[in-house]
Amino acid sequence: MSLVKDDPSGGGALNKFLPSIAILLALAPPALTQSLELPQALQALPNTLDWKSADLNYESAVRQLEAALAAQGFKLSGGADYTLREGSGSGLTVSGTASLGVLPWSSSADAVRSAERALERAALTRREARNNLYIALHTQYFNLRQAQTDLALAQATLALRERQLQIVTAQNQAGSATLSELLTAQQNLDAARSSLLSAQGALELARLTLAGTLGLNPQQLGSPTTPPEEPSLPGESLEALLQRALAARSDVLRALSQLRDAEENLASAERDRLIPNASMSAAYSSSGNSVSAGLNFKSGVASLSAALPVLQGTGSGLQAQGYSLGLSLSVPIFDPVSDSRIRTAQTALQAARQALETARKAAELDVRQKYQNLQTAQAAIAAARAALNTANQNLRTAQARLQAGTGTSVEVQAAQVSQLQAQRNLEAALIQAQLAALALQNALGADFTATLGGR
């Protein structure tokens, strides 16, 4: 568009465009009068549905561990035996049995160790979910802040386009502007109106998204007042960062835990194949009373039983009395089922090792990418800051030309819009850099929510 001069009729002709501006502003979402600082929004995270959902998944793993511990612990059961015989009357015996897993290879001990590793993975998954929610809240918070800036920029651009159309219309009527220039000015105005409507919709969507995350009424959501901060690269070398990531990332630690599960399953299958099914028992009985103890070496469970006759028939006095010892042994010679279990566990172990190696390679690539993204974002800040300095200088030049009588007020207005755009671009660059820094710290295995109620 060619350079236009102010309408000699002055600002009075602008009044006919003011109603359209008022109508568009009336369509805008209600202003966010209250302030909402970023730390304040972060403190509300533990009350959100996503946060509570992550906690529930972790609590489920806690309950499973408690159940495994209870299954490993002391058990006590009772029973009764009633017998009715012809000619000898009836008999009633009450009994009780106590059992406890005492050997380290018992199935209950295996279940406890497996539940402990499952709880570790659940804690890692919860930390990852909380970190993602933490980053998402930053993104939504700054999206709302940017949407407010975009709306102000769209309103300023619309006012500029209306002013330019007014001037070109007057120049066209005076014969100093062509019809093509008039049509271009009208197209610019239509585009500015469309941009304003788009900015209004984006602001409303950003407000609804943040309010939905925080569980607030959108009309009660305050205006985001915390500006983005310019981050810096970590002081460690990239290789040191990679080592830190491999030791702390949730996905790598989960893969390592699953490898331990696979190793434990293979050890259990091999032990089950090699250990004979042996048991030892000792018992004593007298006058119908009996006490027995036993140990099953394969299951690792020790038991103690006692029986007491409450009602005895007339022929019950012939029961054997004294001590007894017992030992049983069964050695597996051909057991295809156990052999198949071992082969299956070996295959699962190989898969777990490959999964761990894949997770480590993916982690290294992710850290390198996030590190590069932060470097790129920092370079964008420098470029945006230089562009803002240029816009500030252009505005000062336009103001000086206006005071000297060699420039126009519309040039100053255009420079002001350019300055607002440059300010917006600088803040956008700072936001991208701050989000890139958060993404890098997340890739390194940091826990963002330790101060927000994270365990």
Domains of the chain with bracketed CATH: 37-88+104-226 (1.20.1600.10), 230-275+333-446 (1.20.1600.10)
Going by C-alpha positions, the residue among 195, 215, 213, 192 that lies closest to residue 203 is 195
Instruction: Give CA–CA dist 157/208, Å, rounded.
Output: 25
* 387, 425 contact by CB (below 8 A): yes
Name residue, tokens 């489920």.
Answer: 60
- Residue 1: the pLDDT is 35
Going by C-alpha positions, the residue among 305, 328, 306, 278 that lies closest to residue 99 is 305
Token pair belonging to 76: 């006590």
- Residue 252: the pLDDT is 96
DSSP assignment, residue 294? Answer: E
- Residue 216: the pLDDT is 86
Instruction: Give CA–CA dist 82/119, Å, rounded.
Output: 46
Token pair belonging to 178: 């062509």
Pairing of strands 277-286, 223-224: unpaired
Instruction: Give CA–CA dist 366/303, Å, rounded.
Output: 54
- Residue 315: the pLDDT is 53
Q: Residue 20: how many CB atoms within 10 A of its CB?
A: 13
Instruction: Give CA–CA dist 125/136, Å, rounded.
Output: 16
* 323, 284 contact by CB (below 8 A): yes
Going by C-alpha positions, the residue among 360, 286, 268, 375 that lies closest to residue 322 is 286
From the centroid of its chain, how far is CA 196?
34
User: Following CA atoms 162, 164, 165, 171 in sequence, which dihedral angle do they give, to the nearest 10 degrees?
Assistant: 150
Token pair belonging to 340: 């198949």
Which residues does 246 contact at the CB level (< 8 Å), separation at least 6?
252, 360, 363, 364
Going by C-alpha positions, the residue among 204, 251, 200 that lies closest to residue 442 is 251
Give how far Cα 266 sits from Cα of 82, 108, 246, 296, 297, Å. Answer: 46, 16, 25, 21, 19
Give the bridge partners for 284, in sequence order.
291, 323
Going by C-alpha positions, the residue among 183, 184, 224, 207 that lies closest to residue 36 is 224
Token pair belonging to 334: 């051909």
Give how far Cα 322 sits from Cα of 7, 81, 288, 313, Å. Answer: 123, 22, 11, 21
Residues of the chain with pLDDT under 50: 1-32, 318
* 429, 380 contact by CB (below 8 A): yes
Instruction: Give CA–CA dist 130/145, Å, rounded.
Output: 23
User: Following CA atoms 425, 426, 427, 429 in sequence, which dihedral angle do they give, to the nearest 10 degrees?
Assistant: 90
- Residue 389: the pLDDT is 97
Token pair belonging to 318: 């012939």
On average, the pLDDT of the chain sits at 86
